[in-house]
Chains A and B, each alone.
Chain A
Amino acid sequence: MAFSFFSPKRHVRTDGVFTKCRNCDGMVRIKDIEENLDVCPSCDFHFPIGSQRRIEITMDEGSWNELFTDIYPTDPLNFNAKKSYADRLKRCQQDTGIADAVITGCGKIGSKNAAVAVTDFRFMMGSMGSVVGEKIALLAEHAVANNLPLVIFSGSGGGARMDEGVISLMQMAKTSAALSKVHKAGLLYVSIITDPTYGGVSASFATLGDVIIAEPRARMGFTGPRVIQQTMKVDLPPGFQEAEFNRDHGQVDRIVHRRDIPSTLVQLFEFFRPRRIYGK
Chain B
Amino acid sequence: MAKALQDRSDYLDFERPVVEIEQKIEEFETLAKTNNMDFSEEINRLHKRRLTIIRDIFRDLTPWQRVELARHPKRPQSLDYIERIFPDFLELAGDRAFADDAAILTGPALLGDIKVMLIAQHKGRDMKESIRCNWGSAHPEGYRKALEKMRLAEKFRLPIVSLIDTKGAYPGIDAEERGQAVAIATNLREMSALRTPIVCVVLSEGGSGGALGIGIGDHVAMMENAYYSVISPEGCAAILWKDAGKAPEAAAALKLTPADLTGFGIVDAVIPEPPGGAHRDPDEAAANLKQHLISVVLELSRTTETDLLARRYEKYRRIGFYADLSSQGAPDSSPES
Chain A positions near chain B (C-beta within 8 angstroms): 1-2, 4, 65, 67-68, 70-74, 76-77, 79-82, 106, 112-113, 115, 130-131, 133-134, 137-138, 142, 145-148, 160-162, 164-174, 176-181, 183-184, 199-200, 202-208, 220-223, 227-228, 231-232, 234, 236-237, 240-241, 249-251
**Chain B hits for A174, CB < 8 A:** 316-317, 319-320
- Closest residue of chain A to B176 (Cβ to Cβ) is A221
- Is A166 a contact partner of B176 (Cβ separation < 8 A)? no
**Chain A hits for B176, CB < 8 A:** 221-223, 228, 240-241
- Is B321 a contact partner of A167 (Cβ separation < 8 A)? yes
B171 on the A face (CB < 8 A): yes
Docked Cα-Cα span, A178 to B216, in Å, equals 13
Binary A-proximity of B234-252 (CB < 8 A = 1, otherwise 0): 0110011100000000000
- Is A199 a contact partner of B322 (Cβ separation < 8 A)? no
B269 on the A face (CB < 8 A): no
**Chain B hits for A231, CB < 8 A:** 171
**Of the residues B169, B178, B230, B333, contact of A168 by C-beta under 8 Å:** B230
- Is A67 a contact partner of B331 (Cβ separation < 8 A)? yes
**Of the residues B216, B228, B253, B334, contact of A166 by C-beta under 8 Å:** B228
- Is A208 a contact partner of B332 (Cβ separation < 8 A)? no
Binary A-proximity of B202-230 (CB < 8 A = 1, otherwise 0): 00001011001101100000000000111
- Is A115 a contact partner of B334 (Cβ separation < 8 A)? yes
Chain B interface extent, by class: 35 or more
Docked Cα-Cα span, A142 to B253, in Å, equals 35
A-B contact pairs, 12 of them (CB 8 A): A1-B231, A81-B253, A166-B260, A170-B212, A176-B189, A200-B209, A203-B184, A203-B209, A204-B185, A207-B185, A222-B184, A249-B179
**Chain B hits for A172, CB < 8 A:** 185, 188, 209, 212
B25 on the A face (CB < 8 A): no
- Is B181 a contact partner of A134 (Cβ separation < 8 A)? no
**Chain B hits for A115, CB < 8 A:** 334
- Closest residue of chain A to B239 (Cβ to Cβ) is A2
B2 on the A face (CB < 8 A): no
**Chain B hits for A250, CB < 8 A:** 179
B109 on the A face (CB < 8 A): no
**Of the residues B181, B182, B209, contact of A169 by C-beta under 8 Å:** B209
Q: A76-B264, A207-B179, A241-B176 are in contact. List 8 more A-B contacts (CB 8 A).
A: A74-B323, A113-B335, A165-B229, A167-B264, A177-B312, A223-B180, A234-B173, A251-B181
- Is A134 a contact partner of B173 (Cβ separation < 8 A)? no
Docked Cα-Cα span, A48 to B184, in Å, equals 26
- Is A134 a contact partner of B320 (Cβ separation < 8 A)? yes
- Is A142 a contact partner of B171 (Cβ separation < 8 A)? no
- Closest residue of chain A to B227 (Cβ to Cβ) is A166
Binary A-proximity of B251-274 (CB < 8 A = 1, otherwise 0): 001111000110010100000000
- Is A177 a contact partner of B330 (Cβ separation < 8 A)? no
Docked Cα-Cα span, A106 to B326, in Å, equals 19
B110 on the A face (CB < 8 A): no
**Chain B hits for A131, CB < 8 A:** 320, 322
- Is B188 a contact partner of A177 (Cβ separation < 8 A)? yes
Docked Cα-Cα span, A80 to B255, in Å, equals 12
Docked Cα-Cα span, A248 to B147, in Å, equals 25
**Chain B hits for A232, CB < 8 A:** 171-173
- Closest residue of chain A to B230 (Cβ to Cβ) is A169
With A130-B320, A168-B230, A228-B172 as contacts: A208 and B325 at CB distance below 8 Å: no
**Of the residues A68, A177, A221, contact of B316 by C-beta under 8 Å:** A177
B14 on the A face (CB < 8 A): no
- Closest residue of chain A to B326 (Cβ to Cβ) is A70
**Chain B hits for A173, CB < 8 A:** 188, 192, 212, 215-216, 316, 319
- Is B181 a contact partner of A236 (Cβ separation < 8 A)? no
- Is A162 a contact partner of B334 (Cβ separation < 8 A)? no
Docked Cα-Cα span, A238 to B34, in Å, equals 69
- Closest residue of chain B to A250 (Cβ to Cβ) is B179
- Is B320 a contact partner of A204 (Cβ separation < 8 A)? no
- Closest residue of chain B to A73 (Cβ to Cβ) is B322
B336 on the A face (CB < 8 A): yes
B291 on the A face (CB < 8 A): no
Looking at B176, B180, B266, B324, the one whose CB has the most chain A CB atoms below 10 A away is B176
